[in-house]
Amino acid sequence: MESTPIKIDYRRCNGCRKCYELCPMDIFVLDKEMDMPLVAYEEECGFCGICWMECPKRAIDIVYPVSFW
């Protein structure tokens, strides 16, 4: 079920791995087959916005979670 607040648009992602490199909570992993980042530990997201700020292709969107409403 796709419910993570961190949405990666794989049509835009160029696989530069910046989000994977920079995330302070290390919630991304690299998918070996795709060679693209995946959100693996979404429950640990600290909502700092670093992946979203740094993504050179603007491929990451952080959607305000319902439980924060």
Partner 1 sequence: MARQQITERVIETDVLVMGGGIGGCPAAAKAAEHGLNVTLVEKSKLERSGKAGQGLDEIGIFPRDGLTPLEAVRIYLGKSSVYDRGGTERVVNPRVLFKLFDNAMWALEELEKLGVNMKYINGEYGWMPWGFAAGGELGPKVELRVHWQNVKPEMAAGVRKRGINVIERTMVVDLLTHNGKVAGATAVNTRTGEFIVFKAKAVVIASGDLERHYNSPTPHFWKYKMGLNTCPAASSGDGQAVAYRAGAYLSCMEMMRPVTIRDIVLMQPGQLHLNDGIPAKVFTWKGDEISRPPGPLQFMELERQGLAPLYYSLEHLPDDFQKRLEVHIADETMLRLKMSQDRGFNPRTHRYQIVGDRAVRFNNTGIVIGDNLEALRGVYAVGECTDTYGIGAGGTAVAGFVVGENICNYVSGAGEPPLDKAQVEYQRQTALAPLAVKDGVEPLELECTIRNICEEYGGTFKSEGRLREGLKRLGSLKREFLPRLMAPNPHYLMRCLEVRNIMALAELHLQASLERKETRGLYIRLDCPQRDPSLDNRRVYQRMVNGQATIEMVDVPELSPDFVKEKK
Q: Which spans of this chain sit near partner 1 (rule: CB under 8 A)?
A: 5, 21-26, 40-50, 52-54, 62-69
Closest CB to partner 1 among residues 12, 58: 58
DSSP conformational letter for 49: -
Question: Residue 53: CB partners within 8 Å, gap ≥ 6?
Answer: none
Query: Strand 36-39 relative to strand 60-62: parallel, antiparallel, unpaired?
Result: unpaired
Closest CB to partner 1 among residues 11, 67: 67
Strand partners, 8: 60
Minimal distance, residue 55 CB to partner 1, in Å: 12
Minimal distance, residue 11 CB to partner 1, in Å: 21
